[in-house]
């Protein structure tokens, strides 16, 4: 799968999650310690704007800001001469798409058809230095677990977060 296709698949997953968010959901806790859904969505907007070089200034509200940012990232990826934004977007949007889906209780995990490719990408690109600045420590998980669970664990999340009371 090309970098652009991988980013597009992750974006579709994240956009599906965003389409399910209501104003009443914004205060819900997320798998990101200390962050509610509003904070997470604003982070997503900032992250994708950083990857695409866009400002996101046409958006109002956290859901809209994240959606506009993702759309601008996809536009930037289509015209890019480098795959860097697409790779970063694929990792960021698969991870945070999962965060949003489990926060909402949708049960929709990162689709296996590209989770393995995103995991390969993340393990190649997320160094210990990057991890210490942006992600939590790797969560221990069975090596034979589904790729989606291994991806989420690699990104510092407990794949069972949605099952924890």
SS3 state at 36: strand
Alpha-carbon distance of 15 to 86, in angstroms, equals 16
pLDDT at 56: 65
Lowest-pLDDT range of 1-5, 24-28, 39-43, 97-101: 1-5
* Mean pLDDT, range 98-117, rounded to an integer: 94
pTM: 0.93
Contacts of residue 140, defined as CB under 8 A and 6 or more positions apart, other chains included, come to 153
pLDDT at 163: 62
Q: DSSP assignment, residue 81? A: S
Q: CB–CB of 122/156 below 8 Å? A: no
pLDDT at 53: 85
* Mean pLDDT, range 29-49, rounded to an integer: 94
* Mean pLDDT, range 110-121, rounded to an integer: 95
* Mean pLDDT, range 9-34, rounded to an integer: 96
Alpha-carbon distance of 92 to 134, in angstroms, equals 11
């Amino acid at each position: 799968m090309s970098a652009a296709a991988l980013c597009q698949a992750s974006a579709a997953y994240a956009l599906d999650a965003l389409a399910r968010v209501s104003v009443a959901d914004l205060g819900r806790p997320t798998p990101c310690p200390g962050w509610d859904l509003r904070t997470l969505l604003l982070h997503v907007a900032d992250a994708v704007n950083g990857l695409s070089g866009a400002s996101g200034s046409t958006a109002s509200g956290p859901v809209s800001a994240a959606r506009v940012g993702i759309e601008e990232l996809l536009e930037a990826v289509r015209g890019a001469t480098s795959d860097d934004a697409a790779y970063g977007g694929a990792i960021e949007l698969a991870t945070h798409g999962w965060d949003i889906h489990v926060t909402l209780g949708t049960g929709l995990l990162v689709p296996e058809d590209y989770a393995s490719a995103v995991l390969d990408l993340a393990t190649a690109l997320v160094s210990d230095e990057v991890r210490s600045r942006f992600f939590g420590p790797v969560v221990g998980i069975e090596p034979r677990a589904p790729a989606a669970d291994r991806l989420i664990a690699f990104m510092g999340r407990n794949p069972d977060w949605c099952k924890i009371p």
